[in-house]
């Protein structure tokens, strides 16, 4: 069942959360949030660094919640719904953050260079005696540990004390263990331990390098949303008194003011055109390939592009109320809502660090007390490693000479090779990329759970009017006894003050043919039948309405006309008759035309193996005619259905598989909310869009199969990422613990282990980014 309306009595809040590094951090943040009074649900996105929470009382203060997160080492703040600001300083990829990440990269590379030079100096490869001295390596390790590594140590210790260990806890345990063991060996050489000062340096170097690459890849996953935000210009041309133009900030605009739009300008806010005619490119929001022909009365959305001529527009909505802001807000909330498939990874990641620490302790005890005795050759095999060993200062995992030294190096390798990051990133990276890509095409998924449901859809029910058809009745034929244009002029002149859709179709046809209308003197409306009145300069009463009403008013026509009327009715068209007094003038044939891409969209869905149905409140003839035209069988059609009847038929279909409902009107809202996936076309009513899980902006029905295909591809990527994340840890951890050391003499040294850990995280992010390719 659709979840979009379940929080109607609650308040949804989006928080920006810092300090998260891995799946353990996600679990810790979620547990902290759920422990707070009034918080009903919480969903955290590691990639977007956001938390989406539902609180019971909309007036509940958020300060205690934010403080609780900050106390756990996760500084948080409320994501404010304010005017979009795409300036450089407001972008998450701001100048200060950019230089901070590059400093981290420079520090990582420097640490690795010093480590390599130290090894080369030890082996006599280069003649720099200072680099080969043990005190130099001790000093370098101290600087690395309490310089760039201090943040990792503090974060890891804080998480460990709170009993919510994270990736920083594992790395901190690994580097601090190596440093302390080396310090003991340096101060008391008699213990016979090898010095590991070089290893904290290399471990931190690889960890920082991996995190830099991971951050760069993560930034690319959210690029689509940033590009959407940049669609809004920063300045607008305000029209003040006497037509004077003033350039002001977009944030200073207010509803009711008038702005000038030059050719090539982005529309800064939502508004209505007052003057001018131009083509407007709406593809950035809706994916529509053809431009919108804007004229007085046309509504324009922020972020679209004026192509041809100058327009004057009245401001209607600004700030967070604009279409562009609402789209970005929907995408941000969608990225924070998890897919159910992520639940297993989160549960594993939450306990993962406990398991890794336990495995590291067991590895240490086993190789210290038993392993080295059972397989004494393991001590010799450990010398064939990453770097050449030299004296007591060797490479960790390559120069163990005692059971205690071997046990220590293998347990540290276990700590640093483990990768809860990959588990935490497997799903949210894909959801972030998928929702961003969808938004660029005008498809708005309301969350990761919606994407997962969309990927499983096997049946789709379409509404007819406004979904498969344009929803705008148009004149298809004129049946006149004599003068067609005169008949149309009289009908349109009488109907020009009516709001009925059929009256609008008649008036639109007269305008298309550029026919001059005459003024009406007195018009009387007969509900459900038609209108009657007098026109200036025209003798007698003019009647425009249904054939049945005209007959009741004494209007007659011959058999030939009657046969044509019957045929038009069989074809599912609506007929509007026109008469002057009792003289029949003709009929206007009106139909709601099929969307141009309807057949193509349905063919694509058939290729995807989706079963389709049409449920409509329209009369039987119209539904059957449309069904025949689109290749539907009679059992796939439903007509003259009220909203509750649509619900009953939906329930009967759900036993055959996951069901989606596509609609656009108020009578579709209950069905959209009831279906497994509610899909609303963007031109539909607001209530229909609020009831839907997936909103398709624009008039392209082919967006339905394309959006479902994107959801299916996204879930395939999620499964691939989860398989990699679980598989990597299941294979790497036993090898790091020495499983291949007795039989094959193979082991993972901690530097290689840390590099693999970083590679594992980067792999899932890069795999998610491949979703951007068609």
Q: Judge whether 558 and 550 are in contact, CB under 8 Å.
A: no
Is the pLDDT assigned to residue 7 strictly greater than 50?
Answer: no
Which whole number is the average pLDDT over 264-293?
84
At 273 the pLDDT is 94
Using alpha carbons, select from 116, 100, 92, 124 the residue that is nearest to residue 16. Answer: 92
Token output for 745: 């003499």
Strand duo 245-249 + 235-239: pairing: antiparallel
Instruction: Count Cβ atoms within 10 A of the Cβ of residue 718 and give its class: 0-12 exposed, 13-18 middle, 19 or more buried.
Output: buried
At 219 the pLDDT is 66
At 336 the pLDDT is 66
Token output for 536: 């200036």
At 461 the pLDDT is 94
DSSP states of 364-392: HHHIIIIIHHH-THHHHHTTSSSS---TT
- Residue 571 annotated in active site: no
More confident residue, 615 or 408: 615
Is the pLDDT assigned to residue 161 strictly greater than 70?
Answer: yes
At 423 the pLDDT is 75
At 611 the pLDDT is 94
Whole-model pTM? 0.71
Which whole number is the average pLDDT over 75-80?
81
The three-state (H, E, C) secondary structure of 525-562, written as one string: EECCCEEEEEECCCCCCEEEECHHHHHHCCCCCCHHHH
Provide the 3-class DSSP secondary structure of residue 659. strand
Whole-angstrom Cα distance, residue 504 to residue 722?
A: 55
Q: Which of 93-97, 288-292, 382-386, 707-711 has the highest mean pLDDT?
A: 707-711
Catalytic residue among 265, 346, 449, 463: 463
Q: Which residues of 482-513 are buried (b: 16+ CB within 10 A; e: fewer)?
A: eebebbbbbbbbbbbebeeebbbbbbebbeee
At 413 the pLDDT is 81
More confident residue, 709 or 73: 709
Q: List, for residues 629-658, the tens digit of each pLDDT value.
A: 899 998 999 987 877 788 888 888 988 889
N- to C-terminal Cα distance for the chain? Answer: 30
Q: List, for residues 285-341, the tens digit of each pLDDT value.
A: 766 666 888 889 888 988 889 988 899 999 999 888 888 887 777 777 766 666 677
Helix (H) or strand (E) holding 78: strand 76-78
Using alpha carbons, select from 231, 243, 241 the residue that is nearest to residue 312. Answer: 243
Strand duo 443-445 + 694-696: pairing: antiparallel
Q: With pLDDT > 70 as the criterion, what percentage of the chain qualifies?
A: 83
If pLDDT is split at 50, 70 and 90, which confidence band does 389 have?
very low
Chain-centroid distance of CA 668 in Å reads 24
Query: Can you name the residues that pair with 239 across neighbouring β-strands?
Result: 245, 258
Which whole number is the average pLDDT over 331-353?
70
If pLDDT is split at 50, 70 and 90, which confidence band does 408 have?
confident
Q: List, for residues 112-130, the tens digit of each pLDDT value.
A: 787 778 767 766 667 777 7
* Dmax (CA) of the chain: 123
Instruction: Count Cβ atoms within 10 A of the Cβ of residue 57 and give its class: 0-12 exposed, 13-18 middle, 19 or more buried.
Output: exposed
Comparing 230-239, 490-499, 751-760, 765-774, the range with the smallest average pLDDT is 751-760
At 382 the pLDDT is 53
If pLDDT is split at 50, 70 and 90, which confidence band does 734 have?
very high
- Which residues have CB under 8 Å from 544's CB, separation 6+? 490, 491, 494, 495, 506, 530, 531, 532, 576, 577, 578
Instruction: Count Cβ atoms within 10 A of the Cβ of residue 23 and give its class: 0-12 exposed, 13-18 middle, 19 or more buried.
Output: buried
Helix (H) or strand (E) holding 54: strand 50-55
Q: List, for residues 444-491, the tens digit of each pLDDT value.
A: 888 888 899 999 999 999 988 778 887 778 888 888 878 888 899 999
In terms of residues, how long is the chain?
774
At 260 the pLDDT is 93
Is the pLDDT assigned to residue 388 strictly greater than 50?
Answer: no
Query: Can you name the residues that pair with 306 across neighbouring β-strands?
Result: 280
Which whole number is the average pLDDT over 49-77?
86
Q: List, for residues 573-596, the tens digit of each pLDDT value.
A: 778 899 988 888 888 888 877 888
Query: Mean pLDDT, the chain, as a whole number?
Result: 80
At 660 the pLDDT is 93
More confident residue, 497 or 446: 446
Token output for 149: 């590594």
The three-state (H, E, C) secondary structure of 194-246, written as one string: CECCHHHHHHHHHHHHHHHHHHHHHHHHCHHHHHHHCCCCCEEEEECHHHCEE
Question: How many helices (H) and strands (E) in the chain?
Answer: 30, 26
Q: List, for residues 81-100, the tens digit of each pLDDT value.
A: 544 545 444 444 455 666 77
**In the β-sheet with 583-591, what is the strand arrangement from edge to edge?**
474-480, 583-591, 574-580, 542-545, 530-535, 520-526
At 707 the pLDDT is 94
Whole-angstrom Cα distance, residue 508 to residue 414?
A: 75
Is the pLDDT assigned to residue 433 strictly greater than 80?
Answer: yes
């Amino acid at each position: 069942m659709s979840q979009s309306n379940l929080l109607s009595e609650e308040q949804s809040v989006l928080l920006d959360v810092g300090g998260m590094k891995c799946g353990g951090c996600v679990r810790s943040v979620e547990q902290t949030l759920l422990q707070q009074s009034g918080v009903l649900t919480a969903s955290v996105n590691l990639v977007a660094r956001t938390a989406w929470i539902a609180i019971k009382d909309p007036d509940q203060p958020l300060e205690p919640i934010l403080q609780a997160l900050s106390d756990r080492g996760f500084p948080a703040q409320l994501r404010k719904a304010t005017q979009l600001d795409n300036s450089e300083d407001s972008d998450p990829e701001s100048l200060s953050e950019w230089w901070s990440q590059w400093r981290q990269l420079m520090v990582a590379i420097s640490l690795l260079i010093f480590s390599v030079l130290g090894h080369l100096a030890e082996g006599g490869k280069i003649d720099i005696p200072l680099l080969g001295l043990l005190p130099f390596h001790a000093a370098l390790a101290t600087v690395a540990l309490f310089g760039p590594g201090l943040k990792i140590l503090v974060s890891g210790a804080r998480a460990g004390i709170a009993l919510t260990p994270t990736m920083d806890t594992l790395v901190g345990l690994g580097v601090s263990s190596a440093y302390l063991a080396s310090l003991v060996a340096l101060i008391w050489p008699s213990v016979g331990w090898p010095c590991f000062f070089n290893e904290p340096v290399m471990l931190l170097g690889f960890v920082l390098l991996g995190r830099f690459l991971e951050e760069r890849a993560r930034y690319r996953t959210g690029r689509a949303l940033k590009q959407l935000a940049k669609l809004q210009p920063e300045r607008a041309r305000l029209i003040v008194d006497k037509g004077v133009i003033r350039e002001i900030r977009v944030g200073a605009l207010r509803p009711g003011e008038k702005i000038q739009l030059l050719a090539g300008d982005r529309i800064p806010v939502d508004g209505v055109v007052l003057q001018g005619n131009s083509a407007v490119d709406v593809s950035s929001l809706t994916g529509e390939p053809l431009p919108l022909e804007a004229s007085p009365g046309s509504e324009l959305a922020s972020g679209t592009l004026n192509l041809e001529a100058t327009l004057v527009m009245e401001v209607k909505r600004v700030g967070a109320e604009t279409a562009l802001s609402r789209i970005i807000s929907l995408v941000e909330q969608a990225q924070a809502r998890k897919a159910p498939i992520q639940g297993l990874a989160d549960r594993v990641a939450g306990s993962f660090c406990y398991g890794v620490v336990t495995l590291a302790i067991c590895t240490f005890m086993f190789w210290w007390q038993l392993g080295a005795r059972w397989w004494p050759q393991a001590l010799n095999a450990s010398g064939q490693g990453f770097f050449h060993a030299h004296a007591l200062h060797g490479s960790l995992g390559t120069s163990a000479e005692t059971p205690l030294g071997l046990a220590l190096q293998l347990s540290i390798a276990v700590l640093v090779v483990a990768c809860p990051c990959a588990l935490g990133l497997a799903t949210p990276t894909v959801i972030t990329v998928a929702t961003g890509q969808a938004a660029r095409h005008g498809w708005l998924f309301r969350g990761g759970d919606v994407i997962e449901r969309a990927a499983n859809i096997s049946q789709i029910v379409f509404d007819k009017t406004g979904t498969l058809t344009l929803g705008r009745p148009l004149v298809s034929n004129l049946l006149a006894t004599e003068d067609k244009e005169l008949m149309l002029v009289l009908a349109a002149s009488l109907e020009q003050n009516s709001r009925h859709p059929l009256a609008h179709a008649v008036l639109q046809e007269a305008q298309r043919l550029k026919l001059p209308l005459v003024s009406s003197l007195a018009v009387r409306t007969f509900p459900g039948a038609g209108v009657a009145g007098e026109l200036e300069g025209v003798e007698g009463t003019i009647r425009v309405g249904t054939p049945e009403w005209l007959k009741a008013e004494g209007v007659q026509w011959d058999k030939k006309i009657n046969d044509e009327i019957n045929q038009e009715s069989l074809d599912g068209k609506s007929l509007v008759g026109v008469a002057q007094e009792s003289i029949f003038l003709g009929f206007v044939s009106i139909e709601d035309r099929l969307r141009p891409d309807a057949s193509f969209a349905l063919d694509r869905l058939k290729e995807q193996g989706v079963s389709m149905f049409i449920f409509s409140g329209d009369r039987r003839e119209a539904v059957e005619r449309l069904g025949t035209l689109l290749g539907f069988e009679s059992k796939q059609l439903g007509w003259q259905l009220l909203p509750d009847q649509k619900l009953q038929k939906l329930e009967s279909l759900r036993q055959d598989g996951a069901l989606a409902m596509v609609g656009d009107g108020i009578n579709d809202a209950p069905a959209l909310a009831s279906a497994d996936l509610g899909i609303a076309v963007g031109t539909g009513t607001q209530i229909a869009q609020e009831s839907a899980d997936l909103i398709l902006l624009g008039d392209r029905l082919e967006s339905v199969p394309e959006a479902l295909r994107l959801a299916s591809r996204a879930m395939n990527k999620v499964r691939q990422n989860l398989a990699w994340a679980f598989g990597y840890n299941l294979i790497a951890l036993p090898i790091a613990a020495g499983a291949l050391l007795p039989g094959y003499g193979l082991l993972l040294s901690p530097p290689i282990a840390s590099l693999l850990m970083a590679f594992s995280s980067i792999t899932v992010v890069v795999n998610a980014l491949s979703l951007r390719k068609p």
